[in-house]
Amino acid sequence: MTIGASAQLGIFPWMFGNSRNAPPSNEDIARVAVAALIDPARHAGKSYRPTGPELLGAEDMAKAIGRAVGRSVKVVPTTAWLFMKAARMSGYPIDVFSGIRYYIEDHKRGAFEVGAPTTDVFDVTGRPAEDFETIARRYTAQPRNQRTFGNWLREFVQFMLAPLGPGFDLDRYDRELRRPFPSVPQFATDSKVWRREHAIADNFSPAALGHGKAPVAATSRG
């Protein structure tokens, strides 16, 4: 959702601190799911984690996006609240973002670096996982992300107005839905169950990845 800002303004909003990820394409996720569905006997009892082919940080992603859009792209550290305001201004519904605040915190703590990258896309589909630049080029090709004056003006206006716009009231949204919530919530990297299920040693901590410790605030799926 930030590719337009990169193409038009040369910026890459980043909410995740110094953490890295090996992001898979939506298409690769779909290929893995389809392969499992059409041959259930082969995949029964197994679990897969599709990822891209390499761990990338913010600067790595910005360079890949820059190559895709044909211009220099600069990483711009962005707060979660500003990101949420920009998302609402862009027309995204609150239900899409109700869990993203926890995803952002898990990402910042290094949860998505653990065990990544995997070879699951190739193992299941027989095709190598798409790299991040390929993903960026696919979204750059969309009409709304082409480098035109109209697209530039839209991104510029949204960039200037985003801090002034309303954000999502996510706590109220969760209360209104009466969603169940753990009595003692934890982020993934703080959970012994998550570490055990992901074959992570008990001495793992966010500090080991250089992210430091932070108060436990919410659950998340790994």
Tokens 């589909």 belong to residue: 125
pLDDT per residue as tens digits for the range 81-131: 999 899 888 888 898 888 888 899 999 999 999 889 999 999 999 999 999
Please give the CATH number for the structural domain made up of 3-209: 3.90.25.10
User: Model-level pTM?
Assistant: 0.80
pLDDT per residue as tens digits for the range 29-79: 999 999 999 999 999 999 899 999 999 999 999 999 999 999 999 999 999
E-assigned strand segments in 29-110:
74-77
**Domain layout of the chain by residue ranges:** 3-209
**Would you put residue 114 in left (φ > 0), alpha (ψ -120 to 50) or beta?**
beta
